[in-house]
A and B are shown apart, each in its own frame.
Chain A
């Protein structure tokens, strides 16, 4: 089936910069450039992230994949001297429009980082509800907080392990548990998109497996974008894969086809391990 599909989306889109987004695209990126000072870390990227699907971004380190990810929820601009040009449309609405508040964007697009980042001064429960509590105008009741914590911890497949330790410091959890806690924290605000920036880079194989299973579970409900330098991981968890090199988006395709018959020779060189 894959072979009969029309030529890869990304290359088509790159040719005509104003291409209409795919029908089921939740986020569509158009002509996106990201800078650190004068250095252009991401060049002219056009890419659609389809609703309910898991998209993996792969590429050698320094290729701009994390930077691209951080442009999707306006985290890139929190670094001094960082700058973005182009469009990122969430549900058709450009999140870089002047009137848009980045805080609102980030509440709808959750993010989890390379290293677990639980807030050290908060309990497990308070960590999970942190974003939730910050979003509301009125403080949610204890019962509400508990309910949302339980829901999010269930979703992050952590409930069974921490249900008796909700009042303990989050720092007492293991690294893998902390990372799933961070996923639960991101899910608690019920975001439509979840960005994962190499979420297993600092974890042991067992914890990695749990996170991968979790990502697999989340598809359908949440649109997931995962940056990884681990091609096997991309192959295991994603529906579509995008390959970046030196700031350019080289190719994007359904994962199964990407790893069997890539259309660009640079992609082929990368996935067959010739560089990176």
Chain B
């Protein structure tokens, strides 16, 4: 396979090999460097501007110091709740269909399209939700934001569910059927139940992914300076608030943006870590 190359001494070839191995190590170091830089700075900047008021107080107008992001926090949690309420059942159901119709034509089409949907820019999903849900009723709403995020969750959850159900041995499904279980009962109480830890992980990964989304919310939830938990009113969210504070010219707002970013990242990381923990605790030794 290296026939084109003139015969090199074995020592030169070994040296070259070692050099390339070293280069991949450098690549790994370089790739993790930004992470360290970003996390370090977030901790430094965010922690210094983070206080109790951040969680409990409302935003203050320009010029007044202090204030917090209580409304944005509540908004983010609410948007996650709406998106999960729609996205999880649909995504899990679609994933079960995909897993149970492995070779089917519709399943192949759905699988492919959900991967395609997964790769679409979130801003396009935002435009869609705006045109479909906001424009006809002429005002922004939490519901539209939640639906836009759900649209992003569905393909993610569907594919994760499918993968996890595939890990359940077919013999278990057969055992349940042979016991006189109807198919639906086999799927729900045996197969889905066995795959549940993995599916929970997939769901949490999807939640972590949408929790930090900003672009779709610009067109749907829009943001709100006031406290709101109404489904039909515009609602604030952490990423939206971070964005508008970051591009503002005010020092106080910048430090609030850092605090918000730290909280948002902590939220995302905690969800991701729980996701990992759930899988590890159940599939700890069965995974290969």
- Interface, chain A (partner B; CB < 8 A): 73, 75, 78, 80, 103-104, 106-107, 110-111, 113, 115, 117, 119-121, 130-131, 134-135, 182, 185-186, 189, 195
B193 and A130 within 8 A (CB): no
**Segment among B51-59, B114-122, B177-185, B207-215 that sits at the interface with chain A:** B177-185
| Contacts known (A80-B103, A119-B190); A134 close to B179, Cβ less than 8 A | yes
Report the minimum CB–CB distance from B212 to chain A (whole Å): 33
B180 and A189 within 8 A (CB): yes
- Interface, chain B (partner A; CB < 8 A): 103, 169, 171-172, 174-182, 185, 190, 193-194, 196
Q: Which of A103, A115, A119, A120 contacts B182 (CB 8 A)?
A: A103
A106 and B194 within 8 A (CB): no
Q: Could you tell me the dominant secondary structure of chain B's interface residues?
A: helix
Chain A residues whose C-beta falls within 8 Å of the C-beta of B190 in the assembled complex: 119
Chain A residues whose C-beta falls within 8 Å of the C-beta of B103 in the assembled complex: 80
A-B contact pairs, 25 of them (CB 8 A): A75-B174, A75-B177, A103-B180, A103-B181, A106-B177, A106-B178, A111-B178, A113-B175, A113-B178, A117-B169, A117-B171, A117-B172, A119-B175, A119-B190, A119-B193, A119-B194, A121-B193, A130-B176, A130-B179, A131-B181, A134-B179, A134-B180, A134-B181, A134-B182, A186-B178
A185 to B172, CA, bound (A): 13
Chain B residues whose C-beta falls within 8 Å of the C-beta of A80 in the assembled complex: 103
Q: Which of A111, A117, A134, A186 contacts B185 (CB 8 A)?
A: A134
| Contacts known (A80-B103, A134-B185); A119 close to B172, Cβ less than 8 A | yes
Q: Which of B171, B172, B180, B193 contacts A131 (CB 8 A)?
A: B180
Which residue of chain A has the shortest Cβ distance to B186 in the bound complex?
A134
A113 and B174 within 8 A (CB): yes
Chain B residues whose C-beta falls within 8 Å of the C-beta of A119 in the assembled complex: 172, 175-176, 190, 193-194
B182 and A75 within 8 A (CB): no
A182 to B179, CA, bound (A): 10
